[in-house]
Chains A and B, each alone.
Chain A
């Protein structure tokens, strides 16, 4: 088990290396650079000024040299300063991570809290009125775009109740009440949207498990329906749900750009968007590196959780 974990953790290194390398060269296919992107509308800088600015940022050098310089610094733990703002990129990233992490976790908790009961009820009441109602609900949530739900929620809240979530992010350790006011609505929207997939997966997994021989045996042994459901059905049905949940969390750690934008939550998604718009390669590289590592780590956690859900799963 320990060896497995070490191997998987070590896998982060080549994965992240591959991702940032691809990102670095892909960004250079896009026309323009950080200096051109920084020139404001109406500004007409002299060519020598532009050259001087490129030199000071180190982006006047050949591409491979730039990449080599970045990689050397990164290996020493220095991911550099933002080409757009001049701020240390790791500091910026570490400020954004808690925002995206909180949003991702909260939304996925809401997603599971909605998806699992609905999925189970839907499976247990297969092809009944309630099954159809719940399935329509889940498909509706899946079909409604996040940005539309978010805009609707925020605008209707303001016009009907003169209320909107408090703007201006407040960390949870500073003021948990205000923080929750800021996060609950966006997390609920994301959670409901995400619950649709998990609900459908739960439903189909539960249906499949319900048809297994060991469930019939459990019924024959006289176990209560509740015990059968909680111990024998759910535990076995949850493996695919957990997989989806893990993938969603990893995805959301990369930032929910639209939701973060609408609710003014300065997470990784917004940071990524700003970095792309400003050709801020150093910030982008750091964010992508984090995203790559997060995907590998979350998947590792998901894989490890299988053994908790199913004792037959062993890691060698």
Chain B
């Protein structure tokens, strides 16, 4: 089980699970268990949820007085390749989908709007105003808000959104050939609509992550199947496919230049959004985007480490949002575990110890980065601390040499590392540093650069010795551990480890956050100690700016799944 996306999002999910706990009375908290032996693959759920009704999360009264009107202007690198909302997870599209579409559930930042703390997310209603979960944790009943209107576009003509629309949207995700989110919802066994505002969804086993998936900010968009049918083959080709019940409506498209959205006067949350218009410009070049920001033509900018001081000097009142290097993507060196070279754990451990990750942070990232684990650091509740990760991935060239000698490789080792060209330059830099480090312990790494389009299928087919690439992205432990389980969708390494399989099975049905975190942390330690197919590499800090006149708009990766434009306003 994994989510089809490697985009950095950096979401922290503890609160999402906390939301589950609100609805599912998990068994006693107790002390955090520390598994001392491997669980078995047939472990039963540690806790089972009980039937609960969830009230809609109260909308906080803002201390600020939001100002209405104005526009927000942003830039992205190129046009969306598709406008089929279920066929892409790239921000090139989701930047737009967040404006035009709604979901059954969505995330909500705790502390909005006084402190837009998007580091802690909870699940809240979007089109649904409340929901219930059955005692066995497998049936979810969502009650949609009455009176949500589709835009006045044929054949919808402003009709009301119904539970049948939501049901068909999930069916489309599961059945549409272009859909890339099938595996994300494959646990659905049935859906029904007892009335026009009620959607009942049943899954095959209780899952701690299910509400999060229903709230997913890349996949779970409610579409109108009758509109899609009417568009036929043209659906997804142009911006006019973006017809949803979101806070904004499409206004105009100028391919290669700009996409404009205007406030939806019939949006179902009263008085929102505040701004009248959102404009997405297409600016491919990074320097040009920086110039556009400094000259006030765009309102937000993702900035490089080196550009931060000069932007701050030029625009001292611009708000800076920085992420120290927490990421929910574990990128790193993957071993093809079916290759005889990697059968001996000592060889894998030697390579791990022979790479100086501290140097990557110091030299490559200018000291601004964080160690990464098999359970990514942005999933804070479920990940190991920096201190522990640093200890697990300590540079130890002498230890590495000893391990190689013990494995009968004192004369050295040579292997091939696949790298992808034209893609994530940082990974190429890391590969070169690793190559340099490993040379010092007698290991020769032959870098094999290949184009990503042809290289990726080769890696998926297992035609590699090692490869450096992103492993998985997730806001849920499911999505990460799933990439290490036997037959798992992103298990490129071909790991077959009963312990990992068992931990995965346990954590998916564990509703107690602490107990679940104990499992994922144990997995993460084991992954580092046993080098379970992956040596995660550190992540670089990232920075973003917003103009001084933009209020309540967090731009960080953390918030990228949020309808940020919904709550932002402009004070010029």
Contact = CB atoms under 8 A, between A and B. Distances in A.
B284 A270 contact: yes
A266 B282 CA distance: 9
A168 B255 contact: no
Contacts of B3: 42
A275 to B, nearest CB: 12
A258 B225 CA distance: 42
Interface in A53-106: 53, 56, 84-87, 92, 95-96
A92 B490 contact: no
Given A262-B285, A270-B256, A41 B294 contact: no
A36 B290 contact: no
A44 interface: yes
B456 A264 contact: no
Contacts of B2: 42, 44
Given A41-B470, A167-B75, A49 B285 contact: no
B4 A157 contact: no
A266 B453 CA distance: 25
A37 B5 CA distance: 15
A169 B254 contact: yes
Interface in B437-496: 450-451, 453-454, 456-457, 460, 470, 472-473, 489-490
Contacts of A263: 288
A278 B297 contact: no
Interface string B274-287: 00000101111101
Contact of A162 (B81, B82, B295, B490): B295
Contacts of B296: 162
Task: Provide the main secondary structure of the chain B interface.
Answer: loop
A233 to B, nearest CB: 43
A264 B314 CA distance: 23
Contacts of B281: 167-168, 264
B294 A45 contact: no
A200 interface: no
B256 A266 contact: yes
Interface string B507-539: 000000000000000000000000000000000
A155 B294 CA distance: 9
Contacts of A158: 290-292, 294-295, 314
A117 interface: no
Contact of B254 (A31, A163, A168): A168
B329 to A, nearest CB: 9
A277 B451 CA distance: 10
B470 A87 contact: no
B78 interface: yes
Interface-centre pick from B90, B285, B296, B297 (highest chain A CB count, 10 A): B285
Interface string A122-163: 000000000000000000000000000001001101110011
B362 interface: no
B288 A52 contact: no
A87 B241 CA distance: 13
Given A86-B236, A155-B291, A169-B256, A36 B297 contact: no
A43 interface: yes
A278 B177 CA distance: 20
Contacts of A36: 453-454, 456-457
A42 B7 contact: yes
B237 A85 contact: yes
A162 to B, nearest CB: 5
B172 to A, nearest CB: 14
Contact of B177 (A52, A163, A168, A271): A52
A86 B237 contact: yes
B6 interface: yes
Contact of A49 (B79, B177, B490): B177
B53 interface: no
A39 interface: yes
B88 interface: yes
A68 B453 CA distance: 26
Contacts of B88: 40
A65 B500 CA distance: 48
Interface string B1-13: 0111111000000
B458 to A, nearest CB: 9
A305 interface: no
A38 interface: yes
Interface string A15-44: 000000000000000111100111111111
Contacts of A164: 288, 291-292, 294-295, 297
A40 B89 contact: yes
Contacts of B287: 151, 154-155, 262
Interface in B222-275: 233-234, 236-238, 254-258
B502 interface: no
Given A86-B236, A96-B256, A262-B288, A38 B81 contact: yes
Contacts of A41: 5-7, 470
A279 interface: yes
A261 interface: yes
Contact of B285 (A87, A96, A261, A274): A261
A42 B89 contact: yes
Given A36-B456, A40-B88, A168-B281, A95 B4 contact: no
B317 interface: no
A293 to B, nearest CB: 22
B472 A95 contact: no
B295 A53 contact: no
A66 B85 CA distance: 30
Nearest to A33: B453
B310 interface: yes
B4 A40 contact: yes
A163 B291 CA distance: 8
Contacts of A43: 4-5, 89, 180
Contacts of A86: 82, 233-234, 236-237
A264 B4 contact: no
Nearest to B79: A85
Interface-centre pick from B75, B183, B296, B297 (highest chain A CB count, 10 A): B297
A166 interface: yes
Contacts of A168: 254, 257-258, 279, 281-282
Nearest to B458: A31
A120 to B, nearest CB: 36
Given A164-B292, A266-B257, A279 B489 contact: no
Nearest to B492: A44
A263 B288 CA distance: 7
Contact of A45 (B180, B254, B284): B180
Contacts of B79: 85
A273 to B, nearest CB: 9
B470 A42 contact: yes
B451 A278 contact: no
Contact of B456 (A39, A92, A95): A39
A167 B292 contact: yes
A119 to B, nearest CB: 33
Contacts of A277: 422
Contacts of A31: 450-451, 453-454
A90 B297 CA distance: 31
Contacts of B236: 86
Given A36-B453, A42-B89, A262-B288, 5 more contacts: A41-B6, A41-B7, A42-B5, A43-B5, A279-B453
Interface of B: 2-7, 75, 78-79, 81-82, 88-90, 177-178, 180, 183, 233-234, 236-238, 254-258, 279, 281-285, 287-288, 290-292, 294-298, 310, 314, 422, 450-451, 453-454, 456-457, 460, 470, 472-473, 489-490
The 3 closest A-B pairs by CB, nearest first: A266-B256, A32-B453, A31-B454
26 contacts: A40-B90, A41-B7, A42-B5, A42-B6, A43-B4, A44-B4, A44-B460, A44-B489, A85-B82, A87-B255, A92-B255, A95-B255, A155-B291, A157-B291, A159-B314, A162-B295, A162-B314, A163-B295, A164-B294, A166-B297, A167-B281, A168-B254, A262-B285, A262-B288, A264-B285, A266-B282
